Structure 1
Amino acid sequence: MNKIADYIQTAKLESDKPFCAFLYDLDHLRAHVQARVDSMPANTRYFYAIKANSELPILRALAPIVHGFEVASIGEVRKVRSVSQDTPIIFGGPGKSDEELIGALEHNVSLIHVESMHELRRLNELCAKRDTVMPILLRVNLRGPLPTATLAMGGRPTQFGIDEMQIAEAIQLAKSLPHVKLEGFHLHSLSNNLNAAEHVKLVKYYIERIKGWAAEHDLELSYLNAGGGIGVNYADLEDQFDWDLFVGGLQPMLEANLPENMTVLFECGRYNTASCGYYAVEVLDIKENHGKTYAIIRGGTQHFRLPVSWQHNHPFVVVPSERWEYGFERKGVEDQQLTVVGQLCTPKDVLASDVTVPNLRIGDVILFLYAGAYGWSISHHDFLSHPHPDHIYLGGDDHV
């Protein structure tokens, strides 16, 4: 983090405009993801789910490291292909249009995760017109029980996948269609799981389910997509998902339970990029209102929607700046509880509420940590038409 703070302090001395930027440490990103890939068991593959952050410098940094990319739209397919023409792509998400399915064929997508029987029939027909066969995984919404996590895509009614109660019908349909090849199943059921031991148990549960289906329906399967779902602890940055415990338990579990010639795919997003990113915003004002203190920043949830989306106080540190060019006294607070808000005309524009800071002055920079995933990519950028933040990539050639 020191090089991020140094960059901000230098930039503050060189520019008159209030500082507002996403900054990414690409060296950290590469090292973090490379360590994960290197430690995975041999019968697994590690993909990056680009929905977490699909900026091209991020994709370029990860392309030589991960085994491929997971996408959820034709736009994401095109982004990946602008970076690499041959890296494997797996394509999921509900509600794929004909344009997207055709685009997947044209861009040599490796696997399509089919989300419904209607989508399965449409894909077969589109492939027939092109005289090709598409490898697929059936996405299944399991009945559970499943571990608890921040977000659940399975184990309850959602728009994701085929209800497990209908899986026999879906398998028979897939086997009957000549232009799709059923290679396995996609069972991504939850997101932001912080319990490494439970995640090993979850993968074991997935294996047990697909082995039962394979035996019942005489299937030869190549892949289990166990999804991502590995989380980030924003409440306590020192207590993160125990990766070593996870892979240490995964290896023997797979040796004991995974059928021969089957590969387990993981498609992590947030876990890969969150820690490499920062959202840095200058404090424009500090004011009191109805007994509460507010720090108003140059920016807000139109840039960084994650805190209000997840309804949490996002962790931050203060980067002090000694630049002060006004002729009056600079306002600040010490050891005081305050709420960090943006520039939007809505009381919901809150990034951290009722947090105590040791020292903060107008003109200092608040640096939000772990902002590399689901930050800029999910935000409503043009609400009120405020300027966009800069995007700065340290350790790379890109600076937008």
Structure 2
Amino acid sequence: MELRLTEVVEHLRAAQADSGEPLCAYVYDLEGLRRHAAGVAASLPQGCELFYAIKANSDLPILQTLAPLVDGFEVSSGGELAWVREHFSDVPVIFSGPGKLDSELDAALERRVDCLHVESLFELQRLAERVQRHGKPQDVLLRMNVALDNLAETTLMMGGKPTPFGIPSLELPECLAWLRGHPEIGLRGFHFHLLSHQLDAQAHLRMLAACLEQVRQWCDQYRLSIEHVNVGGGIGINYRDPARQFDWAGFSGALPALMQRSGLAGVRLRFELGRYLSAACGYYAMQVIDIKRSYGKTFVVGRGGSHHFRTPHAQGHSHPFHVIPVDDWPHAFARPAAANEAVSVVGQLCTPKDLLAFDAVVERVRCNDLVVFSYAGAYAWHISHHDFLRHPHPRQWYLPVQEDAHAAVERA
């Protein structure tokens, strides 16, 4: 996973020099994204497919960069499906997520969804009604919530315990019996998405092996012939210790043996990665407005905050950042600064929860400098409460791939 901070800083310095007020912006390095995604895709063995989960970041330049590199997109709402089909008429799409509306099931049929991931028997029954009305068949994967022995828990679990996600294993026989009476709905396989934020590659391999063993047992027990097992995403980003990321090389290198041991000859393995593909391409920049000390703590106040960049609050961590010096100081009075001390980086919101980093030791930071948060390309702008206090939205730039690397593209 490659961070190209130098290119981002060059762009931010030029943008800051032209700005008439403190800068607040997202910058996305599309060349860095292309390199990383291409490497991930190339490392997957034969029999694997790579889909991008657009919920992580559905910006059009992100999708346009990834479309030639992945096997398709995973969507989790009718809105995401409409967005993809508006811009990509032929890319394969898979549709996941709980609580699908009848109108979303209709849209899946109308907009040629490759596969629906069904969450319950009731959803299957509702889908059958839509299929009959449209007069066209639909393939599905059954999303399963299985309790696996020794499942290593992460900070976000969607399976292996009581959750609203997936079909509990005990209900599988009823679903299979129902499907046998509805040949217009084709069972292509199973979908597992039991956890997120996985940083341990070996634990993830053990989980995949257990899921594939469970699928093999189901195929033997119920005499099933399937084509796909979707093992979800779930691979995390180490925000607390950026130098120690998920061992993708070790993980992908172990997949061929894992697949061979599974006993599922000819069954393709699908991944739907979101955060792991796009997080490293994004940067959130805040220009420092104030530096203040209060009861033994030093606070760096930047233009922006968690209404733009909710990732640190959502994950409960102090987000890594870089200080980019800005030498310009337009005032006659002394420039506030902090040096060789721990600081907390906060934003402009009227709440103490507007905290992006804490107890972070800085060599030096001054008013007017830029604070740049890395790993801001996934679940950052897209999960934030943009209009709280009606502050302006940050500017958003996309540094293009190297074939056209002379100018950044700004989103309107």
Question: Residue 55 of structure 1: which of 38, 54, 59 is its match?
Answer: 59
- Structure 1, residues 315-335: CA drift from partner, whole Å, max 9, x if none? 001011011111211110111
Question: Residue 170 of structure 1: which of 164, 169, 175 is its match?
Answer: 175
Are the counterparts in 1 of residues 109 and 134 from structure 2 also a CA contact under 8 Å?
A: no
Instruction: Name the counterpart of 1:301.
Output: 306
Instruction: Name the counterpart of 1:97.
Output: 101
Give the secondary-structure state (helix, strand or coil) at the position aligned to 1:108: coil
C-alpha displacement of 1:310: 1.1
Instruction: Name the counterpart of 2:88.
Output: 84
Q: Which amino acid aligns with 2:361?
A: T
Instruction: Name the counterpart of 1:399.
Output: 410
Q: Which amino acid aligns with 1:232?
A: I
Instruction: Name the counterpart of 1:330.
Output: 335
Give the secondary-structure state (helix, strand or coil) at the position aligned to 2:410: coil
Give the secondary-structure state (helix, strand or coil) at the position aligned to 2:233: coil
- Structure 1, residues 100-121: CA drift from partner, whole Å, max 9, x if none? 1101111101000000111000
Instruction: For 1:1-400, list aligned pairs within 5 A.
Output: 1-145=5-149, 146-395=151-400, 398-400=409-411
Are the counterparts in 1 of residues 216 and 262 from structure 2 also a CA contact under 8 Å?
A: no
Give the Cα separation in 2 of the matches to 1:176 and 1:89: 26
Give the secondary-structure state (helix, strand or coil) at the position aligned to 2:224: coil
Which stretch of structure 1 is more off in the superposition, 138-147 or 106-115?
Answer: 138-147
Are the counterparts in 1 of residues 56 and 278 from structure 2 also a CA contact under 8 Å?
A: yes
Give the Cα separation in 2 of the matches to 1:5 and 1:58: 20
Are the counterparts in 1 of residues 342 and 362 from structure 2 also a CA contact under 8 Å?
A: yes
Give the Cα separation in 2 of the matches to 1:362 and 1:17: 13
Give the secondary-structure state (helix, strand or coil) at the position aligned to 1:300: coil
Give the Cα separation in 2 of the matches to 1:19 and 1:172: 60
C-alpha displacement of 1:258: 4.3
Give the Cα separation in 2 of the matches to 1:257 and 1:206: 9
C-alpha displacement of 1:57: 0.7
Give the Cα separation in 1 of the matches to 2:343 and 2:218: 55
Give the Cα separation in 2 of the matches to 1:81 and 1:131: 21
User: Normalised by the size of structure 2, how large is the TM-score?
Assistant: 0.95
| Identity in percent | 44
Q: Which amino acid aligns with 2:410?
A: H
- Which runs of at least 4 in structure 1 moved beyond 2 Å after TM superposition? none
Which runs of 5 or more residues in structure 1 are unaligned?
none
Give the secondary-structure state (helix, strand or coil) at the position aligned to 1:318: strand
User: Normalised by the size of structure 1, how large is the TM-score?
Assistant: 0.98
Give the Cα separation in 2 of the matches to 1:174 and 1:275: 42
Give the Cα separation in 1 of the matches to 2:317 and 2:179: 43
| Root-mean-square deviation (Å) | 1.1
Give the secondary-structure state (helix, strand or coil) at the position aligned to 1:255: helix
Give the Cα separation in 2 of the matches to 1:197 and 1:308: 28
Are the counterparts in 2 of residues 228 and 269 from structure 1 also a CA contact under 8 Å?
A: yes
Give the secondary-structure state (helix, strand or coil) at the position aligned to 2:203: helix
Give the Cα separation in 2 of the matches to 1:293 and 1:183: 57
Give the secondary-structure state (helix, strand or coil) at the position aligned to 1:267: strand
C-alpha displacement of 1:85: 0.7
Are the counterparts in 2 of residues 282 and 364 from structure 1 also a CA contact under 8 Å?
A: yes
Q: Which amino acid aligns with 1:114?
A: V
Give the secondary-structure state (helix, strand or coil) at the position aligned to 1:220: coil
Are the counterparts in 2 of residues 225 and 265 from structure 1 also a CA contact under 8 Å?
A: yes
C-alpha displacement of 1:225: 0.4
Give the Cα separation in 1 of the matches to 2:353 and 2:63: 32
C-alpha displacement of 1:255: 2.0
Give the Cα separation in 1 of the matches to 2:155 and 2:52: 20
Q: Which amino acid aligns with 1:154?
A: G
Which stretch of structure 1 is more off in the superposition, 120-129 or 249-258?
Answer: 249-258
- Structure 1, residues 332-365: CA drift from partner, whole Å, max 9, x if none? 0111111111101111110011211110000001
Q: Which amino acid aligns with 1:393?
A: Y
